[in-house]
Amino acid sequence: MIPSELGIDKIKNIYKLLEPHVNKTPLLKANEEISNYFNTRLFFKCEFLQKSGSFKVRGATNSILSLNKESLNNGITAVSAGNHAIAACYVASKFKLKNKIFLYKSANKYRINTCENFNANLIFTEADEGFKNVKIAEDEGYTFIHPFDGAYTLQGTASLGYEIYNQVKEIDNVIIAIGGGGLISGVGSFLKQINPKIKIIGVEPENAKGMSQSIKSGYALSKVNVRSIADSLCAPLHMPYSFSVANDVIDEIITISDQEMIEYMKFSFKYLKLFLEPACVCGMAALKNKIKKRFINQNTIIILCGSNIDYITWNKLISNGSLV
């Protein structure tokens, strides 16, 4: 059951609240050649054009707007492989908030530089230590802006579902990358309330499939072993709130390999003229290689969730299949 705080009228109000602070990103209809290649009527929701370069700014901004004056004065903390850290740094700069942002040591140079451009207080951490460090910052008085859990985060991502529905009413399938699950649970919760027949398809790296494992286990796993070039999908744990919503709205999860993501990074650059990070292309890989012809004559939306990547990192990935 979808929580009342994610109800349709509530999300419509949240959307109005967020409008001055986030971009309304384009939803582009693929040309006939591309749609035929993917065997569906294909649309791309371009969240990589969002402020901060990913959808993460929606949840981060909504979380900030929920804080009282005392909490705002005490500042915010966050942990991330990059996209959420950039979003947190952006909103901290925009609202002039003290911050303590924990960024994974594996973050690419572009993400580091972008955070630093917002004058963030960056602290580098190992992925498996990040959430522990955030707890210490909370004890110091900082408010934790969660990357993928909690009502305020999911209200932010649900606003994306509302925006998609405003841009195209006839929707059969939505394909969404899964890391911690905040994006798919928010978008899916709104669209399922509008039309329960809309299929919500999740995509995970085959070596970072914490949501699949959590669903199989029946609860949110507190530790997940992850390894993928799609570092923004490598959530080291899952959380009960976002898991419970995701579990209600997801119709299917597809897993793909790192090599399949590399294939569609190249495809996006060659045929779409888009320079995208691995997480951003996993929907295309799943649609072409796994779904194949199941969505013929249907309207299918792929959320291009973000792309904070530099050319050196991108080129290493497509050349070597790793950053080594």
Among candidate residues 94, 96, 92, 184, the one with its CA nearest the CA of residue 144: 92
Q: Quick one: average pLDDT of 11-16? A: 98
pLDDT of residue 324: 47
Q: How far is the C-alpha of 135 from the C-alpha of 129, rounded, in Å?
A: 10
Q: Are 114 and 308 in contact (CB under 8 A)?
A: yes
Residues 6+ apart with CB under 8 A from 73: 98
| Helix H or strand E encompassing 123 | strand 122-125
Q: Which of 7-16, 140-149, 315-324 has the lowest mean pLDDT?
A: 315-324
Check whether 322 has a pLDDT greater than 80: no
Computed from CA positions of residues 144, 148, 153, 157, in that sequence, does the dihedral angle turn out positive or negative? positive
Q: For residue 323, is pLDDT > 80?
A: no
When pLDDT is averaged across residues 112-136 and rounded to a whole number, the result is 90
Residue 296 has pLDDT above 70, yes or no: yes
Amino acid of residue 211 = M
Give the least confident one: 56-60, 134-138, 185-189.
134-138
Half-sphere exposure of 235 (CA within 13 A, CB side): 27
In the predicted model, what is the mean pLDDT of the chain?
A: 95
CA 276 to chain centre: 14
Q: What is the pLDDT of residue 320?
A: 79
Higher pLDDT, 1 or 67: 67
- Is 322:316 a contact under the CB 8 Å cutoff? yes
> Which tokens in the block code for residue 68?
């009282």
pLDDT confidence of 81, banded at 50, 70, 90?
Answer: confident
Q: Greater confidence, 110 or 182?
A: 182
CB 120 within 8 A of CB 229: no
Strands (E), 139-276: 143-144, 173-177, 199-205, 252-256
In angstroms, the CA 142 to CA 100 distance is 8
Burial class (CB in 10 A: 0-12, 13-18, 19+), 177: buried
pLDDT (0 to 100) of residue 211? 97
More confident residue, 128 or 237: 237
Strands 27-29 and 41-46: antiparallel
Q: pLDDT exceeding 90 applies to what percent of the chain?
A: 89
58 half-sphere exposure, CB direction, 13 A CA radius: 33
pLDDT in tens, 198-226: 999 999 999 999 999 999 999 999 999 99
Residue with tokens 């950039």: 86
Report the pLDDT averaged over residues 79-97: 93
Instruction: Kindly tell me if the per-residue pLDDT of 38 is higher than 90.
Output: yes
CA distance 111 to 211: 25
Rounded distance between C-alpha atoms, residue 309 and residue 106, angstroms: 12
Q: Classify residue 298 as exposed, middle or buried by CB count within 10 Å of its CB (0-12, 13-18, 19+).
A: middle
Domains along the chain with CATH numbers: 4-54+150-320 (3.40.50.1100), 56-144 (3.40.50.1100)
Which of 158, 214, 200 lies closest to 4, judged by CA?
A: 158
- Contacts of residue 201, Cβ cutoff 8 Å, sequence gap at least 6: 173, 174, 175, 176, 250, 251, 252, 253, 254, 286, 291
